[in-house]
Structures are given as structure tokens and as C-alpha cells.
């Protein structure tokens, strides 16, 4: 018997990931080709939704490379990149972890050694990553409050 509920969810997720995939390719095709473009999980990354679908100014968003560097296979990654901390002093590296620094600091990071990385935490027995701080991305949305 087919589970229609799960099938509908899978179809919807595929459709959403295809939308992000197309937007990503149009934004930066060179970076796109460093990713496994057949992996829907990559294109369901929450920071990509903010990057492509929100009306927040791109200068206030996590840079596109920073949003996906954790999804690029290690042998394809640049050795050194500069990353941007949010107003809380957190550099979010989806699929890798976090780096704590000063607010708005631009941090050169050696992706080979990745010292000082705070690992991601997940909901038990799932691939659902927990956000470990009140993300700066939501702070720019209207009506968002952090208590």
C-alpha cells in the first residue's frame, strides 16, 4: 500500500528544492557546480530559503558560500575563506557547526583544520538541525521578537 501522505510530502519537498536549486544556479553557477545538485537535502537548507525567498537585503544575509560550504565535499572546498559573524558574534556554517567571535566580525577560516568549531546538534534520531542561537536572519523580519 502506498502512503499518500508521505508521498505528497516528498513531492512537495522535491518541488521546493527544485525552486531553490534553480535560484541558486542563476545566482552563482560556479558555486552550484561544487555541490551535489541531485541531493535535495542541500537545497532544503533553511538559510537558503532566507537568502532566496525573503525580502531581507542581501547584505544582511549569510553569504551564499557560507550557507553551503558545509555541503561541499572536503576535497572541493577552498582551504581558506572569510566568513561573516552575525550581530550575536556567531558564524553559522550549516552542516558543519558554529564559530563564536565578535559581532559582525569577518573571520578568516582554515576549512582544513576548522579550530574552534562548535558542532551542530540534532533532534535525536533525525537530520533536523537545532538552531543554537536566535538567528540574525530572523531579526530583520517584521514582527519577529526574541524573548
Say yes or no to pLDDT of 145 above 70: no
C-alpha 142: how far from its chain's center? 21
Q: What is the pLDDT of residues 25-35, one digit of tens each?
A: 999 999 999 99
In a domain, 17, yes or no: yes
Residue owning grid cell 538567528? 135
Q: Answer yes or no: is 14 within a domain.
A: yes
* Nearest-angstrom CA–CA distance, 51 and 72: 18
**Among positive and negative, which fits the CA dihedral 123, 129, 133, 135?**
negative
Write out the residue range of the structural domain in which residue 22 sits.
4-139
Tell me how many domains the chain contains.
1
Residue 146 in any domain: the answer is: no
Residue 38 pLDDT: 93
- Classify residue 57: in a domain, yes or no: yes
| Domain-located, residue 105 | yes
**According to the model, what pLDDT value does residue 51 have?**
86
What is the pLDDT, as a whole number, of residue 146?
45
- pLDDT tens, position by position, 94-108: 888 899 999 889 989
**Burial degree of 137 (CB within 10 A; 0-12, 13-18, 19+):** buried
134 or 81: which leads in pLDDT: 81
Which range among 4-8, 35-39, 102-106 has the greatest average pLDDT? 35-39
In a domain, 144, yes or no: no
Evaluate whether residue 109 is within a structural domain: yes
Concatenated DSSP letters of the chain: ---HHHHHHHHHHHHHHHHHHHHHHHH-HHHHTTS-TT-TTGGG-HHHHHHHHS-S-GGGSPPHHHHHGGGS-GGGS-SEEEEE--TTSEEEETTTEEEE-STT-EEEEETTT-TT-EE--B-TTSS-BPP-S--HHHHTSTT----
Amino acid at each position: 500500500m502506498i502512503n499518500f501522505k508521505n508521498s505528497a510530502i516528498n513531492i512537495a519537498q522535491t518541488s521546493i528544492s527544485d525552486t531553490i536549486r534553480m535560484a541558486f544556479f542563476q545566482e552563482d553557477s560556479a558555486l552550484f557546480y561544487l555541490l551535489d545538485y541531485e541531493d535535495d537535502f542541500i537545497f532544503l537548507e533553511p538559510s537558503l530559503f532566507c537568502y532566496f525567498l525573503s525580502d531581507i537585503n542581501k547584505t544582511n544575509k549569510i553569504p551564499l558560500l557560507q550557507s553551503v560550504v558545509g555541503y561541499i565535499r572536503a576535497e572541493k572546498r577552498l582551504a581558506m575563506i572569510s566568513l561573516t559573524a552575525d550581530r550575536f558574534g556567531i558564524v553559522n556554517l550549516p552542516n558543519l557547526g558554529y564559530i563564536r567571535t565578535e559581532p559582525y566580525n569577518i573571520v578568516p577560516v582554515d576549512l582544513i583544520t576548522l579550530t574552534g568549531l562548535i558542532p551542530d546538534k540534532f533532534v535525536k534520531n533525525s537530520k533536523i538541525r537545532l538552531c543554537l542561537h536566535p538567528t540574525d536572519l530572523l531579526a530583520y523580519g517584521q514582527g519577529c521578537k526574541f524573548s
